[in-house]
Amino acid sequence: MGNQEIKRVGVVGAGAMGSQIAMVTALGGYPVILQDIATESLQKAEAFLREQMARRVKKGKFTEEQVESAFARLTFTTELTDLQTSDLVIEAIVEKLEAKQSLFQQLDRIVPEHTILATNSSTIVSSKLADSVRRAEKVCNIHFFNPVLVMDLVEVVKGPHTSDQTAEKSVDFIKSIGKIPVLLKKEISGFIANRILGKLMDEAVFLYENGYASHEEIDLVVTKALNHPIGPFALMDLTGIDVNYFVRMQRYSESGDEKDRPAAVVAAKVEKGELGKKTGKGFYEYDENGKRIEQRV
Once rounded to an integer, what is the mean pLDDT over residues 112-129? Answer: 96
265 located within any domain:
yes
Where does a domain end: 163, 184, 205? 184
pLDDT at residue number 1: 39
Domain presence at residue 241: yes
Is residue 180 located within the same domain as residue 198? Answer: no
Q: What's the pLDDT score for residue 295?
A: 74
User: One of 155, 161, 170, 189 is an active-site residue; which one?
Assistant: 155
Question: Could you report the per-residue pLDDT of 157-197, keeping only the tens digit for each?
Answer: 999 999 999 999 999 999 999 999 999 999 998 899 989 99
At residue 189, the pLDDT reads: 87
User: Residue 29 region, left (φ>0) first, then alpha (ψ -120 to 50), else beta?
Assistant: left
Q: Which of 194, 228, 254, 274 is catalytic?
A: 194
Instruction: Evaluate whether residue 288 is within a structural domain.
Output: no
pLDDT digits (tens, 9 = 90+) for 61-76: 999 999 999 999 999 9
- With a cut of 80, say whether residue 3 has pLDDT above it: no
pLDDT over 70 at 129, yes or no = yes
Asked whether residue 27 falls in the same domain as residue 146, the answer is: yes
Statement to judge: residues 147 and 212 lie in one domain: no
Segment 233-242 shows an average pLDDT of 94
Among 137, 154, 184, where does a domain finish? Answer: 184
Considering the domain architecture, whether residues 91 and 236 belong to the same structural domain is answered as no
Q: Do residues 51 and 149 share a domain?
A: yes
From first CA to last CA, the distance across the chain in angstroms is 64
Residue 109: per-residue pLDDT: 98
Is 194 one of the annotated active-site residues of the chain?
yes
Contact assessment for residue 102 and residue 37, using Cβ atoms and an 8 Å cutoff: no
Q: What is the CATH number of the domain that holds 259?
A: 1.10.1040.10
In a domain, 293, yes or no: no
**Domain assignment of residue 3, yes or no:** no
State pLDDT tens for residues 243-263: 889 888 988 888 899 988 999
Residue 4 belongs to a domain = no
Q: Are residues 83 and 168 in the same domain?
A: yes
Distances (CA, A) of 18 to 29, 157, 170, 275, 280: 17, 18, 17, 18, 21
Residues 97 and 201 in one domain: no
Average confidence (pLDDT) over 26-30: 98
Pairing type for strands 32-35 and 74-77 reads parallel
Same domain (yes/no): 34, 110: yes
Tell me: do 130 and 60 sit in the same domain.
Answer: yes
For the segment 99-107, the average pLDDT, to the nearest whole number, is 98
The catalytically annotated residue of 122, 132, 141, 170 is: 122
Claim to verify: residue 206 and residue 151 sit in the same structural domain: no
Least confident of 26-30, 33-37, 72-76, 121-125: 121-125
**Above 60 in pLDDT, residue 297?**
no
Instruction: Determine the pLDDT at residue 296.
Output: 60
User: In this structure, is residue 296 part of a structural domain?
Assistant: no
The rounded distance, in Å, linking the Cα atoms of 274 and 281 is: 5
Domain that holds residue 18: 9-184
Q: How many domains does the chain have?
A: 2
In a domain, 289, yes or no: no
The answer on 32 and 173 residing in a single domain is yes
**From the candidates 95, 132, 143, 187, which is the catalytic residue?**
143
Q: Nearest-CA neighbor of 126 among 167, 86, 85, 154? A: 167
Q: What is the mean pLDDT of residues 23-36?
A: 98
Tell me, yes or no, whether 179 and 206 share the same domain: no
- Residue 89's CATH number: 3.40.50.720
**Residue 143 annotated as catalytic:** yes
Average pLDDT, the chain: 95
